[in-house]
Amino acid sequence: MTFGRRRFLGAMAASATTMLFPRTAAEAIAPQVPAGNGLVVPPAAPWGIGGQSAGAAPAGLDIPGAPALLPRALAALQQHHARLAERDVIGIVDFSMPSREPRFHLVDIAGGRVLSTHLVSHGKGSDPANSGWVERLSNRMGSEASCSGAFLTGPTYVGKHGRSRRLLGLDPENSLASERGIVIHAASYVDAGLAAAQGRIGRSQGCFAVSQDEIGRVLAALGPGRLLFAAR
């Protein structure tokens, strides 16, 4: 079924009392369970509140300019709802696209719009020939490859790449993301001029690296307790 924007917003409003937690992000992820690298994960809970079933986000949601992966991202949003403190904005990374193309989409689910789209790197292990295309995805330690699946966004920290955001993998295919240090950070090798000049941007060690000019906007829009979904 295809939902128009108006119909979707009406459906979201009707199910808001059961689909959204009436708490702040900090409250929603307590009690906290250590998960390494400063990330915390709330214990799994039944779908909905008080054991009641909540309405599913429509897989056919029509958001102008949204990536093709949106239905899969919405399915992940439903699957992992109990682990997510906030479900208003999600991030979607389409690894089927070359690195020269903006493929990191910030989608406002509540507002039914795409907030912005950004260049984002993939790992060296995913593109050994440095072609600009993802050839494989891996969850293996030391692979330096990107991994796919649903990620929970964690707190920010300041590291060697400046202000960055931690990530926790929620699926079997990215379960080692935290241990591998897979995060969102900025990098000088992610640049529109570089993409235009050589047909690709640089590669990370598996992290989601974005432009230094755009890291602030990405971190602000995709705050803690939200979903980042990556696939190809």
CA gap 181, 159 in Å, rounded: 11
Q: Tens digit of pLDDT for each residue in 117-142?
A: 999 999 999 999 999 999 999 999 99
Confidence of residue 60 (pLDDT cuts 50, 70, 90): low
Q: Which domains are delineated in the chain?
A: 5-231 (2.40.440.10)
CA gap 216, 143 in Å, rounded: 28
pLDDT of residue 22: 32
59 vs 21: which has the higher pLDDT: 59
Confidence of residue 13 (pLDDT cuts 50, 70, 90): very low
Which of 53-62, 66-75, 76-85 is predicted least confidently?
53-62
Report the mean per-residue pLDDT for the chain: 81
Confidence of residue 10 (pLDDT cuts 50, 70, 90): very low
104, with CB counted inside 10 A (0-12, 13-18, 19+), is: buried
Has residue 21 got a pLDDT over 90?
no
The phi, psi pair for 67, rounded to 5°, reads -70, 160
Q: DSSP character for 167? A: E
Q: DSSP character for 230? A: E
Has residue 20 got a pLDDT over 70?
no
Parallel/antiparallel/unpaired status of strands 183-186 and 33-34: unpaired
| Residues, the chain | 232
Is residue 176 a contact partner of residue 165, using CB atoms and an 8 Å limit?
Answer: no
64 vs 51: which has the higher pLDDT: 64
**Preceding amide of 31 cis, omega within 30:** yes
Tokens of 76: 């992940």
